[in-house]
Amino acid sequence: MNARKIHAVTGAFGYSGKYIAKRLLEKEHEVITLTNTIPNIDIFNGKVKKYPLDFNDFDGLCKSLENIDVLYNTYWVRFNYKTFSHQQAVDNSIKLFNACVKAGVRKIVHTSITNPSENSHLSYFKGKAILERELKNLSIPYTILRPAVLFGKEDILINNIAWMLRKFPLFGVFGDGEYKLQPISVDDLALLAIDNGATDESKTIDAIGPETFSYNQLVEMLMSELKIKRKIIHVSPKFGCFAGNILGKFLNDVVITKDEIDGLMSNLLYTESSPAGTTKLSEWVKSHSNTLGLKYANELKRRR
Ligand SMILES: NC(=O)c1ccc[n+]([C@@H]2O[C@H](COP(=O)([O-])OP(=O)(O)OC[C@H]3O[C@@H](n4cnc5c(N)ncnc54)[C@H](OP(=O)(O)O)[C@@H]3O)[C@@H](O)[C@H]2O)c1
């Protein structure tokens, strides 16, 4: 029998990490988190012990991971910015993987992205592919979960589309809007992570939900569920990015990047795989239509 019982989650006060930690606690596991967030409110009432996610302190990372059975790794950065980059996130994640090996962690459940590729010109998809290769070369079992887009209460992307639909009379769709995406509920992702943490198998799963939307269909579904009718205009990705930058100046945030638009329009958030989650975004939106998009979700504010 394995004497290690503690589960470690990166970012338990963040988005997906919170759901993974909650589900682990429900299963009566002892849970710790590696994070740099100092939460205003401790949603876990002290049940999740906090350790720094300090990539400059390798020995400290190893120490935090002593006696850990499974590491659930959600660590990544959404875009390249003044103070963080995908390249740094790759380097940092490799340190974290190596710390797991040194500390004797039994398994790593790692969150990636649909369609990662080392040949991609997009640093997000390239960086994720490099990390998948690094992880596969370690001596410990792994599960790689590849979500396309997550949805849930703390979501940014879908919430902010809803916010824009509520706020403005026009909504700009990049290009023809026929490229697809397959959102998965953040809680379904958490359940998948925990199920896979319990096995010694190594595998890679496209963590996609049961519904596939074209971007046009996603916007139509949101308008219908939020009972909003807006004029849809089709704009070039360049103009979309420009408009996003202007809006970002007012909101003090990065609303969307050129690379994110490129990835979306290149169908990188779409796969041919069978669904791994069961919750339908359309039903979730219906049951959250009173709150979805009422407030803008600010990525940079979360980082401050
Ligand atoms: N959200 C989506 O729609 C989506 C879609 C596809 C794939 N994914 C993948 O799913 C994983 C989890 O995503 P999430 O949305 O749940 O992430 P998150 O909660 O915002 O962040 C996850 C972890 O990354 C750290 N982090 C995030 N941005 C950072 C920054 N700029 N500088 C330093 N640390 C940063 C957080 O640190 P702290 O704990 O210190 O806050 C946390 O430990 C990621 O690997 C992502 O690539 C997400």
Q: Is residue 34 part of a domain?
A: yes
Percentage with pLDDT > 90 across the chain: 96
Q: What is the SS3 string spanning 110-177?
A: EECCCCCCCCCCCHHHHHHHHHHHHHHCCCCCEEEEEECEEECCCCCHHHHHHHHHHHCCEEEEECCC
**Enclosing domain of residue 46:** 6-148+185-206
Model confidence band, residue 5 (pLDDT cutoffs 50, 70, 90): confident
My answer on whether 105 and 215 are in the same domain is no
Q: Is the CB of 11 under 6 A from ligand 1?
A: yes
My answer on whether 86 and 198 are in the same domain is yes
Q: Is the CB of 98 under 6 A from ligand 1?
A: no
My answer on whether 64 and 195 are in the same domain is yes
- Tokens 């003090």 sit at which residue? 252
Q: Is residue 144 part of a domain?
A: yes
The pTM assigned to this predicted structure is 0.97
Model confidence band, residue 304 (pLDDT cutoffs 50, 70, 90): confident
d(CA 22, CA 24): 5
* CA-based R_g, the chain, Å: 19
In angstroms, how far is CA 47 from the centroid of its own chain?
23
My answer on whether 84 and 110 are in the same domain is yes
Q: Is the CB of 125 under 6 A from ligand 1?
A: no
Number of domains present in the structure of the chain: 2
Probe residue for ligand 1, chosen from 74, 93, 257, 260 as the CB with the greatest number of ligand atoms within 8 Å: 74
d(CA 253, CA 123): 20
Would you mind telling me the total number of residues written for the chain in this entry?
304
Model confidence band, residue 241 (pLDDT cutoffs 50, 70, 90): very high
pLDDT single digits (tens) 96-152: 999 999 999 999 999 999 999 999 999 999 999 999 999 999 989 999 999 999 999
Q: Is residue 24 part of a domain?
A: yes
Model confidence band, residue 1 (pLDDT cutoffs 50, 70, 90): very low
| Residue 40, pLDDT score | 87
Q: Is the CB of 51 under 6 A from ligand 1?
A: no
pLDDT single digits (tens) 36-60: 998 889 999 999 999 999 999 999 9
Q: Is the CB of 267 under 6 A from ligand 1?
A: no
Q: In angstroms, what is the span from residue 248 Cα to ligand 1's centroid?
A: 20
